[in-house]
Amino acid sequence: MKLVLAISIALAMASPALAFNLEWHGDLNNRASYSTQADTSTRISSDSAVYYSIDGQDNITVPAGVDFEKNSKDAGLFAELKYRLHMVASDDEQKVKGVLGLEFGSNKYGDAKTGLGGDNRDTLELRWAYTDIELPFDSASRLSVGLQPVGYNAFVWSDNAAGVKWSRKTGHFAYSLGWWRTDWVPTNGAAGADDNQNGELYAADVTYVADNGNALNGFVIFRDQGEDTTFGATSTTVGVDDDLDGLADRFVTTTTGGTTVTRDSEIWLGLSGKGSWGNLSAMATGVYLTGEVKTDSVTDELDRSAYLLHAQADYKMDKFTFTLGGLYASGDDDPNDDDLENFDHIDISTSVLGSVVIFDNFADDNSPSQAFYVFDQGYKIIYLGAKYALNDKTDVWGKYFWHNTAEDNLLGDDEIGHEFVVGASYKIMKGVTAAINAGYLVAGDALDTLSGGLADDADDIFRTDAKLQFKF
């Protein structure tokens, strides 16, 4: 924060001579949530985790029966905050911009970072740090270098990454090329080491925007990941008595077996579009995932073949907006063959769908594959809803979701349940919004299986969220 303050003061003092502008923007969000089941909000992996099923083993630790039944130990209420601030320094002609973004969150009230006293000093995250310039030999082109928002497709990759991106707009078309580093492991000349430890991402897209605003986007993203993970290994620890006094002086751990992914290459080919025709608007996305996974196991090479489809239509009638949509992400029907047919994304958020119980729509950084049964079984949803504008400041809405997995070989059934959502939002003043919604999930047979077996029935789940958000 001292560095940020020093930069702000320096730019403020120099701005009359340099003709630079300095802007602060923020997204300050406090929210609270209550659920009859604490386990529904339990996440078991990071957004970017990749699922593998090789030789009958998978790299995701699946709990042996998740508690989807109500009990007195469920911690049903929590409150959390997420504060995002970013500073933009630019010249008057917007030919160069420097952006620094910081984030605090998501932190629950009362945890180690927001405990009594509020004196924790190690809680800030670096979210953005990049420079965006107009190329001097082509005013239609820009080059952005550093840690920056990516935003290729909402269902493939919509978060942040460090890299270099060239973009150009001319007429109805816009293009971009990008290189991104996903991880970096220094080799230092170690025996047998090479650059395969490093992960690379290459992306390109082209967008056509018609005069009426309708748009079509095509993209290709190639991720070449080095050694990613070893799983399925057995570890044995034994004590060694060096001085023969009958006591262990040291311990030795021996690891045997397991599968190591030595190379994972993924290629996403996608096409999306959006348009409006009078009171009707629609958007659609189709993505095909191909590639191969090389391992050191008996099954040396596995082929990827998966896809995702999404479509949504909205119709406005007076103060009403009616919505109909659906999503399908393929799953893997045989974890023991040489094919990986489950759809994988890079880093996305599913808050746009509006599900409260399953996808936590007031959280802007949750991904669908964080629920372990989506990794290999895939997901399919049909949803519909209606929103009514009471006035310029107040909206109320209702939605229905039918949640299912795409495959049912793991759970014996594909129905997760029927979710009903109601909500309301109110604009208190410029930039400040308060909102609340609630979801009720009528549990399906797939949740019965996850709850410990076909003989046990999962309870229906209620969850409500509320937030107070200040954006500037």
Give the confidence band of 338 by pLDDT, cuts at 50, 70, 90: confident
> What CATH number has the domain bearing residue 124?
2.40.160.100
Give the confidence band of 273 by pLDDT, cuts at 50, 70, 90: very high
Q: Which residue has the higher pLDDT, 243 or 81?
A: 81
DSSP H helical ranges for 253-299: none
pLDDT at residue 198, rounded to an integer: 67
pLDDT at residue 214, rounded to an integer: 96
pLDDT above 90 for 117: no
Pairing of strands 301-317, 339-340: parallel
pLDDT above 60 for 420: yes
Mean pLDDT, residues 334-362 taken together: 82
Q: Which residue has the higher pLDDT, 94 or 468?
A: 468
pLDDT at residue 429, rounded to an integer: 95
Containing domain of residue 338, as a range? 2-471
* Residues in CB range of 53: below 8 A, 6 or more apart: 332, 335, 336, 340, 376
- Least reliable range by pLDDT among 48-57, 141-150, 277-286: 48-57
pLDDT at residue 366, rounded to an integer: 63
Tokens linked to 237 = 């620890």
| Greatest mean pLDDT range, 311-315, 342-346, 455-459 | 311-315
**Span 219-236, pLDDT tens digits:** 999 998 866 567 766 677
Q: How many distinct structural domains can be found in the chain?
A: 1
| Greatest mean pLDDT range, 308-322, 338-352, 361-375 | 308-322
Q: What percent of the chain is predicted at pLDDT more than 70?
A: 75
Mean pLDDT, the chain, whole residue set: 82
pLDDT at residue 69, rounded to an integer: 58
Q: Which residue has the higher pLDDT, 106 or 7?
A: 106
- Within a 13 Å sphere around the CA of 192, how many CA atoms are in the beta-carbon half? 1
Predicted model pTM:
0.85
Q: What region, left, alpha or beta, does residue 55 occupy, with left being phi > 0 and alpha being psi -120 to 50 degrees?
A: left
pLDDT above 90 for 395: yes
- In whole angstroms, what is the distance from residue 311 CA to residue 353 CA? 11
pLDDT at residue 318, rounded to an integer: 93
CB 51 within 8 A of CB 62: no
The burial of 170, by beta-carbon neighbours within 10 Å (0-12 exposed, 13-18 middle, 19 or more buried), is given as exposed
* Residues in CB range of 360: below 8 A, 6 or more apart: 33, 41, 351, 366, 465
**Span 153-196, pLDDT tens digits:** 988 988 889 999 999 999 999 999 999 988 766 554 444 444 45
Mean pLDDT, residues 52-61 taken together: 70
Question: For residue 440, what are the CA distances in angstroms to 70, 90, 127, 351, 418?
Answer: 14, 47, 34, 17, 8
- In whole angstroms, what is the distance from residue 323 CA to residue 390 CA? 18
Q: Which residue has the higher pLDDT, 141 or 72?
A: 141
Give the confidence band of 124 by pLDDT, cuts at 50, 70, 90: confident
Tokens linked to 236 = 């044995």
pLDDT above 60 for 16: no
pLDDT above 60 for 359: yes
Q: Which residues pair with 90 in a beta bridge?
A: 21, 97
CB 463 within 8 A of CB 68: no
- Least reliable range by pLDDT among 136-140, 289-293, 413-417: 413-417
pLDDT above 90 for 367: no
pLDDT at residue 219, rounded to an integer: 97
pLDDT above 60 for 46: no
- In whole angstroms, what is the distance from residue 370 CA to residue 184 CA? 24
∠ Cα 464 391 397 (to 5°):
30
Q: How far apart are the first and last CA of the chain?
A: 19
The burial of 357, by beta-carbon neighbours within 10 Å (0-12 exposed, 13-18 middle, 19 or more buried), is given as buried
